[in-house]
Amino acid sequence: MRGGDRYSRAVAWLKVALPLAALALLSTLFLLSRVVDPSDAIPFADTEVQDRLLNQQISGPYYSGTTPDNDQIAFVADTVTSPRGITGATQAKDVFVKIETHAGAVINVTSDTASIDVGEDVANLTGNVVVTTSQGYVMTSQAISARVTVLDVRSPDTVFGTTPGGELVAGSMHLSTPQTGGAAQLVFTSGVKLVYDPKQVED
């Protein structure tokens, strides 16, 4: 009988002890979970988080459109940011612009940065600007301005580059379509210097 009493007491004790032990484990897990700082899971530094909150940023944006003259314009950048959430001008980094004219010419433009204001119909590209055309022109400048809705690219600063006729330096450059439906024209002004290279012409 004593053995049966001991067994009954052990079973009764376990019925109380095991649920208490389970509650203790659950309480421990709950307390440990409250110690974890949720901000530790964010893979950004405090300054980066604040910058993203203040500046609306888009990564890898792509834009394409058609001008009234049926020229195709495509715009790609690494990032585009609206500083301080201000509408209007946006800042872009590592910019690539591709223009395909209705006549079949292709113009590629790259730059380190760009300031774009669609409302004002203007884009200012700065830093290592390179303009390459399918006719064999490769022009470099520190800054160019362009309209967003039509083919109108200007360089207010000195441009350097290579042409089918040789090396060229000019005080300014203008790429546009003077006549509606006409062919695009690349015009150099303000002290043009061309070092003629007959080998390039033959090639």
What DSSP character marks residue 136?
A: S
pLDDT digits (tens, 9 = 90+) for 48-93: 444 544 456 677 778 788 888 888 888 888 888 876 555 556 888 9
Nearest of 186, 184, 188 to residue 157 by alpha carbon: 188
User: Rounded CA gap, 144 and 150, in Å?
Assistant: 15
User: Rounded CA gap, 120 and 148, in Å?
Assistant: 9
Q: 149 or 108: which carries more pLDDT confidence?
A: 108
Residue with tokens 């039509």: 150
Residue with tokens 């007491």: 9
pLDDT digits (tens, 9 = 90+) for 99-147: 998 888 899 999 999 988 878 888 899 999 999 999 999 999 999 998 8
Q: Structure tokens of 146?
A: 């362009």
Q: 202 or 124: which carries more pLDDT confidence?
A: 124
User: Rounded CA gap, 11 and 7, in Å?
Assistant: 6
Q: Is the pLDDT of residue 34 over 90?
A: no
> Average pLDDT of the chain?
76
What pLDDT shows up at residue 4? 57
Q: Structure tokens of 187?
A: 């015009």
Q: 29 or 94: which carries more pLDDT confidence?
A: 94
Q: Is the pLDDT of residue 47 over 70?
A: no
